Amino acid sequence: MALAITVTPENKQMTGYVYKGDEWEARGPGGFRKLVKKLRELQTLAPTPDGKTWQQCLIHITKPDYKINIQFEYDDPRRWSLKKVSLDMAADYANSLRSSRN
């Protein structure tokens, strides 16, 4: 599973994908509000030395061992966001978020 989550004062957004082999499905976990609340708490705990907080994070949860990998983006709040919309681009976007372990 890959979750791209944006948490800025102006925007709260989550995009999620579940992968099985070469296939993918747009889906994320329930409880978006609880997750965003916890991520906002995490933002305050993980600033850069100059006080800058991350704008977006990419969370990978991989099976069968359910390992979690989280990457943070401090400069570009759209780094892992879908830029253009079409079916082909949605597939490219979903695959760009895929963990290297899938």
Residue pair 14/3 in contact (Cβ under 8 Å)? The answer is yes
Class of residue 5 by CB neighbours under 10 A (exposed 0-12, middle 13-18, buried 19+): buried
d(CA 102, CA 66): 12
Distance CA 15, CA 30 (A): 12
CA dihedral over 45, 49, 52, 54, signed as positive or negative? negative
pLDDT, tens digit, for every residue of 59-84? 988 888 889 999 999 999 888 877 66
Boundaries of every domain in the chain: 2-97
pLDDT band at 5 (very low <50, low <70, confident <90, very high): confident
Q: How confident is the model at residue 1 (pLDDT cuts 50, 70, 90)?
A: confident
3-state SS class at 78: coil
